[in-house]
Amino acid sequence: MIIIMSQSATREDIDNVEKKLSEYGFKTHPIYGEVKTVIGAIGDKRLLNMESLITMPGVENIVPIMKPYKLASREFKQVPTIIEVGDARIGSEEIVVMAGPCAVEDETSFLEIAIKVREAGAKILRGGAFKPRTSPYSFQGLEEEGLKIMAHAREVTGLKLVTEVVDTRDVELVAKYTDIIQIGARNMQNFRLLQEAGMSGKPVLLKRGLAATIEEWLMAAEYIVSSGNSNVILCERGIRTYENATRNTLDLSAIPVVKELSIFR
């Protein structure tokens, strides 16, 4: 990382920063500009309490050099992930379509939709049995009953399933029925849920949070990967902006950025 010292930093300030960095095993490389000094520091950032560094006298700013996500990063693993679910190869050249209704409402209508979804060429059937609703008065999903309906539709159609989980206590139950676990946008930084989903062993479809940066999204993926599960599917679903002519603003450019930065497709 690079520590930028303020213009008013004294020689003593600079020495103190170097000393502190040395104590934590960093090698330091000061560069004295005409107006400001910057200090390059090589070492393991995880050992360091960054807040105690940035509040030292004379420190203006700290610029990280390495990405904060490790296992998810193309810097550490060159080959992108391909996830096989049934005969779908997610992350390969193939475009895998996942479709279905927002919520599972009843067996008959869900089956009817499932058949149309298969006819339309999708390979994965989506449906919500646990729904994260903005209002406590809205229908919250059929829960296990909904999962059973989905499993039945899988039997009938041969489609694989993706469904959302919203509570750490339900991960085991949901994993029993589904082929892919979905983490919704509102739970993208529900870190305990990410870990539980990761430990389930099932592929995890991770929706981007409403106002999540690409870096935060990849850090959320890192939680899953660091639980021992690299089968993460990133889902760009639009972000929140000032524009409300549309419900969300699809951040199309995020897709090539994510492909360049991470092992995910």
What is the contact surface with a second copy in residues (CB under 8 A)?
2, 4, 7, 29, 31, 33-36, 38, 40, 42, 46, 63, 65-66, 68, 70, 75, 132-137, 166-169, 186-187, 189-192, 195, 210-211, 213-216, 219, 222-223, 226, 239-246, 249-254, 257
Shorter beta-carbon distance to a second copy: residue 182 or 187: 187
Q: What is the nearest approach in angstroms of a second copy to the Cβ of residue 125?
A: 20
Shorter beta-carbon distance to a second copy: residue 108 or 134: 134
Whether residue 123 contacts residue 86, with contact meaning beta carbons closer than 8 Å, is answered with: yes
Q: Which of 151, 163, 157, 148 is nearest to 117 (CA)?
A: 157
Shorter beta-carbon distance to a second copy: residue 95 or 137: 137
Hey, what are 173's tokens? Answer: 């139950």
Going by C-beta distance under 8 Å and a sequence separation of 6 or more, which residues neighbour residue 193? 165, 166, 167, 168, 171, 183, 187
Count other C-beta atoms under 10 Å from residue 158's C-beta. Answer: 13
One-letter identity of residue 176: K
Q: Which helix (H) or strand (E) holds 99?
A: strand 98-99
Q: What is the nearest approach in angstroms of a second copy to the Cβ of residue 249?
A: 5
Q: What is the nearest approach in angstroms of a second copy to the Cβ of residue 91?
A: 20
Q: What is the nearest approach in angstroms of a second copy to the Cβ of residue 8?
A: 9
Q: Which of 63, 53, 57, 59 is nearest to 6 (CA)?
A: 59
Going by C-beta distance under 8 Å and a sequence separation of 6 or more, which residues neighbour residue 15? none
Shorter beta-carbon distance to a second copy: residue 42 or 156: 42
Shorter beta-carbon distance to a second copy: residue 65 or 156: 65
Would you call 262 helix, strand, or coil by DSSP? strand
In angstroms, rounded to a whole number, what is the distance separating the alpha carbons of residues 213 and 195? Answer: 20
Shorter beta-carbon distance to a second copy: residue 93 or 260: 260
Q: Which of 245, 224, 241 is nearest to 233 (CA)?
A: 224
Q: What is the nearest approach in angstroms of a second copy to the Cβ of residue 155?
A: 28
Q: What is the nearest approach in angstroms of a second copy to the Cβ of residue 126?
A: 16
